[in-house]
């Protein structure tokens, strides 16, 4: 059996650590920003200020991740870069809720462009994002994920995922910029998270299905190779 067909399975993961990690990620990136925006606007804060302060929670999530694992990785570096970029873009230029929505949309477009640009790098961006969410952060699980790069099928899937994520976020950004100029700020505050998390949800579902399909195809190739080897023997 060739190396491409003898793909190892993942090591045992810490269920508790994974559950806590996902709870923090969803809570700090989805739930907390929405609740913060609603609470601030209900108390008379401007849409711009409420949107700006709601963006603090993803920063907290990144800091918690860095403190928890006591190390940085490519995912953390990219996240910190875009958080810093978002903060800078938010504070320059026009200070209005509509302008902030447009700026935020432009930043996600830059993420899509970055995805496509990393196709020229030794490993595409989705390889590092996949490692972040497919492992529990231990050295063993990281070593398992890194070892998968030797398989051609795995490399193809990672590059395909990077292309799809890049194009999807460029389209999503263009749609949000257009809607920011056509919808009222109130309507856009509702539509914005729907587009953001709707796009993310669809991409995650597609990614999971693609990963499962890739594993099934790999298992089928391994079984076929084993049968061929047995026949030759």
Domain tally, the chain: 1
Mean pLDDT of 43-72: 75
Whether 114 and 163 have beta carbons less than 8 Å apart is answered as: no
Cα–Cα distance, 101 to 86 (Å, whole number): 11
> In the chain, how long is the greatest CA-to-CA distance?
79
3 within some domain: no
User: What are the residues whose beta carbons fall under 8 Å from the beta carbon of 217, sequence distance 6 or more?
Assistant: 153
Model pLDDT for residues 103-125, shown as the tens digit of each residue:
778 888 988 999 999 999 999 99
8 within some domain: no
**Torsion from C-alpha of 29, 30, 33, 34, nearest 10 degrees:** 180
Average pLDDT score, the chain: 78
24 within some domain: yes
7 within some domain: no
9 within some domain: no
Domain hosting residue 150, numbered range: 15-232
179 within some domain: yes
Cα–Cα distance, 203 to 210 (Å, whole number): 10
162 within some domain: yes
Model pLDDT for residues 203-223, shown as the tens digit of each residue:
989 988 888 887 777 667 767
> 107-145 burial, b for 16+ CB within 10 Å, e for fewer?
bbbbbbebbbebeeeebbbbbbbbbbeebbbeeebbebb
2 within some domain: no
């Amino acid at each position: 059996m060739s190396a491409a067909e003898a793909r190892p399975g993942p090591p045992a993961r810490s269920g508790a650590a994974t559950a806590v990690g996902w709870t923090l990620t969803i809570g700090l990136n989805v739930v907390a920003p929405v609740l913060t925006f609603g609470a601030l606007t209900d108390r008379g804060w401007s849409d711009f200020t409420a949107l700006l302060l709601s963006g603090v929670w993803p920063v907290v999530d990144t800091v918690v991740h860095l403190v928890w694992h006591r190390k940085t990785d490519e995912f953390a570096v990219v996240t910190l870069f875009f958080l810093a970029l978002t903060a800078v873009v938010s504070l320059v230029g026009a200070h209005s809720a509509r302008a902030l929505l447009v700026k935020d949309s432009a930043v996600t477009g830059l993420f899509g462009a970055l995805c496509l640009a990393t196709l020229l790098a030794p490993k595409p961006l989705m390889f590092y994002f996949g490692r972040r969410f497919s492992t529990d952060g231990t050295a063993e699980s990281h070593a398992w994920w890194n070892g998968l790069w030797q398989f051609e099928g795995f490399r193809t899937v990672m590059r395909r995922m990077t292309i799809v994520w890049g194009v999807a976020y460029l389209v999503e950004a263009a749609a949000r910029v257009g809607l920011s100029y056509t919808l009222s700020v109130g309507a856009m505050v509702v539509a914005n998270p729907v587009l953001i998390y709707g796009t993310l949800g669809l991409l995650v579902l597609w990614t999971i299905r693609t990963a499962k399909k890739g594993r099934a195809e790999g298992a089928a190739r391994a079984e076929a190779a084993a049968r061929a080897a047995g026949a030759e023997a």
